[in-house]
Amino acid sequence: MNAATSPAFQPGGLKGKTLFITGASRGIGLAIAKRAAADGANIVILAKTTEANPKLPGTIYSAAQEIEAAGGHALPLAVDIRDDDAVFAAVTQAVQTFGGIDVLVNNASAISLTNTEATPMKRFDLMNGINARGTYLCTAACLPELKKSAAAGRKPQVLTMSPPLSMKSHWFAPHTAYSMAKYGMSMCTLGHAGEFKKLGIAVNSLWPRTAIATAAMQMIPGVDVALCRTPEIMADAAYCVLTNGTFETGNFYIDDAVLAAHGVTDFDRYAVTPGNKNFLPDFFVD
């Protein structure tokens, strides 16, 4: 069974839902947005990029065009998720435009695979400000609307792009600051899943088994994107999680494992290089 014929990919599961997605101007965030848009979902695009950059293609406006072309409704908002007031204002705009928020996707992230000597505190603060603090802030800002969604029986969710919590030194030693920041996102999942369970809000994380070919990945020295998978594998896995009819919370999902559980057996369509089986593994997956 392939992705196109799997029951997990039948249309309509997110129709009428409003998704608040950080870092949605490109890469994994945009792929998730477009996958939801195919159902007719409303997408609130949060990202900083308003003008095209040759090194980082995609803006909130080009993303909005792609989302609407895919069948969704888009609200592009230029927001730095380190800015408290801007995030809360974005929530207000989302509610004014679409009437509420049903799903928060914490996708925005900063990466620097540097050791301690090569990581100035400004870069440390950037990663922790976007990854851990930004995830916490966006979740807190969206919480009142997610509670309303739960009360209305709309099964709200928070889905964060962060890894399973594996406290092993080899995941920290080469890039302690980045690992701290990324695991901070996962700790939000662990804590908020328990905190929000009684509210009927599911909180989970999703992470790729292999490296994903994004613009950010292409900027990391030594990474061969030919050995990566495309962002669509994360989009399809996120779709499976978000359209699951049962209440599942506190999970740290791996993309291909999610798809396999939903009947997908052909993963060739996600390879950057057709026929490649030798993928570059991602961090934090034991």
Positions marked active-site: 178
The identity of residue 87, as a single letter, is V
Q: Is 197 exposed, middle or buried (0-12, 13-18, 19+ CB in 10 A)?
A: middle
Per-position DSSP letters for 231-250, written without gaps between them: THHHHHHHHHHHT-SS---S
8-state DSSP, 30: H
Helix (H) or strand (E) holding 203: strand 202-207
Pairing mode, strands 103-106 and 252-254: unpaired
Q: Does residue 3 sit in helix, strand or coil?
A: coil
CA distance 201 to 86: 24
Torsion angle (degrees, nearest 10) of CA 12, 62, 45, 229: 70
User: Sign of the C-alpha dihedral, residues 158, 259, 154, 35?
Assistant: positive
Helix (H) or strand (E) holding 208: none
CA distance 60 to 108: 13
Query: Tokens 């400000």 sit at which residue?
Result: 129
CA distance 286 to 242: 25
**Tokens representing residue 73 in the block:** 């409704």
CA distance 140 to 126: 20
